[in-house]
Structures are given as C-alpha cells and as structure tokens.
Amino acid sequence: MRTTYREAVRMALREALARDPRVFLMGEDVGRYGGTYAVSRGLLEEFGPERVRDTPLSESTFVGAGIGAAMAGMRPIVEVMTVNFSLLCLDQIVNNAALLRHMSGGQVAVPLVIRMATGAGRQVAAQHSHSLEGWYAHIPGIKVVAPATIEDARGMLAAALADPDPVLVFEHAALYGLEGELAEDAGPVDIARAAVRRPGRDVSLVAYGGTLGKALAAAEALAREGVEAEVLDLRVLRPLDVEAILASVRRTRRAVVVDEGWRTGSLSAEVSARIMEGAFYDLDAPVARVCSAEVPIPYPRHLEEAALPQPEAIAAAARRLVGHG
C-alpha cells in the first residue's frame, strides 16, 4: 500500500496501543493537538486520555514518569517533541533510564521507548535543527535507532517495545512526508543490524536517518559516471553493527561516512575509527566524512542547505576516493 513515513509511525503506535494494554503514549501535545508532526492524530479519540496523555511542558518530569511506569511494569512510549528539548531531561535518560539495570544488579528493568524528532532541513532555525543522536549513542545502557525508511518507521517501534531496556527512536523530521510502498503484512523489523540499501563495488556510502536518501541520490549520480557505490544504512546507532560496516568496506575498499551531526566528536568519527581499527589494510584510500558545517544551523534556506550534507558533496567525496575528481 502507498503511505507516508508519518502514517507508518501512526500505524505502529495504533497497533502497539491496541495489542498491549500496558502500552501508553505521553508527551507534549500528543493528544488533543494530534502531535506536533501530526503523528498521533486520532489516537486520543480512539484510545482515550488514559492511554494517550498530554503532559505539562516539563521534559524532565514526564520522562521521569515514563521511567517509573516502565519500572512498575508498564510499556510507556514517551514523545519528546524535538531532540533539543531532550536536553531538559538528559539527567533522567543518562543517570536513571540508562543506569538503573546496572545499579540494581539486574533487578530493575526499564522497558521504556522514547521517540523524538531530530535533524534540520525545514527552516526552523538553530534551536530546533540539532542532530544529537550521536550524543546518546555514546551512552551504555540504552539502544539508539534511527528509522530512515517507511518500513523501519513502521516496524522499529514494536521491536523497541519488546526490548527490556530503554530504546531511543530518532525520527528525522524531514522524513515525515516521505511517501512510499509498505507491505500490508509489514511487522517488526530487526533493530540489531545495519542494512545494505544499494549494493556496489567501488565505494561504501555509510549513512543513517535523514542522510540515507541523500546517499542514495549521490549513488544514482555516481552510477551515471560508472562508479558503483554501495549504500549502507546504519539503522542502529548503538550498538553499531560493526560487522556490517567492515564487510561493506572490505567489498569496496573505500568509505564515505555521512552524518548530519557536526564533524567534531561526531558519530561519523566513531564509524571512521571503527573502520580504521578493523579494516585498515583493506582500504585503498583514507576514510572520508561529509558532515554538517561547524556552525549553528542557519535559518535562510540557501544557508541551511549549504550547511547540511547534500548529495553533491557526498558524490564529490566519493569521486575523490576513486580518483574521478
């Protein structure tokens, strides 16, 4: 069936609420307003205010409540409106959700799902254009996933709810309108492994989330020039599927890592280091990175586009590695 990324997430939420009475959704504007990105529209009317809960504007409070509910046996889905607002509940995520199993000697589980919109490209200026998922990928005790396709937007939630530990789901806000086909019987997807979205032999383009489409567009442009780029969708940012990354690089012997985060201290730096540690002698060229410019994301459209990774920059980096540019 033809659908959108937004509707795929809504399908996943509806199915989770219908399947398990322990599941409930809470966050700012998820109920009467239908969600800031219209993802939860209609769910309040369908499931009622006990299952779809509007919260005060206090991220630390409602994420903390979600942690407590998870510890008590519920299966909460907490929506943080955008990733920059997650900084207001960083202590709850880092010092409570991620650590309680360890600090209790395995006696306490926190089966919590936190969803949040991430990324730029929508002209919402510097405070609402962060890509901070790499920060969370640094933290032991949580799993971090980034659905980049409609299938993953639909299927990652069920898999996350089945996980006994906290799972953070980063939905790139620019993808909500993405249209595509989804199988009628689509179900949970693997949240442990990366996926090759396009096979190739000359260079690996390693991407995730909002950069996957740009990497695929770059691969199309390269193919017209006779360069076959493999596109690897990381999908899971913690724990990284290092085996898949190294397998791709060993096939192509070159790698471009694409990351909407800033270059300094980024997830791309971690991926690059893993490649150098595990496949150094398989490389025919140094690992290249295409990241956002080291500036607050600008508001004007032309400056925002210039600051973000774009297909042209990805293709140019690949050409340099294969000696075509």
**CA 269 – CA 276 distance, rounded (Å):** 10
Cβ atoms of 255 and 283 within 8 Å: the answer is yes
Residue matched to tokens 């006779």: 226
Cβ atoms of 282 and 250 within 8 Å: the answer is yes
The residue type found at 164 is P
**CA 77 – CA 115 distance, rounded (Å):** 7
The residue type found at 66 is G
Token code pair at residue 1: 């069936």
For 234-287, the DSSP string reads --EEETT-HHHHHHHHHHHS-EEEEEEEESTT-HHHHHHHHHHHHHGGG-SS--
- φ, ψ of residue 193 to 5 degrees: the values are -135, 150
Token code pair at residue 291: 């990241």
102 is catalytic: no
Sheet holding 203-207, edge to edge: 195-198, 229-233, 203-207, 255-262, 288-292
Cα Rg, the chain, nearest whole Å? 20
Is 134 strand, coil or helix? helix
Pick the catalytic residue: 7, 28, 59, 260? 59
Angle at which helix 5-19 crosses helix 150-161, to 10 degrees, equals 20
**CA 321 – CA 118 distance, rounded (Å):** 30
324 is catalytic: no
Pick the catalytic residue: 7, 28, 79, 128? 128
Active-site annotation, residues: 59, 128
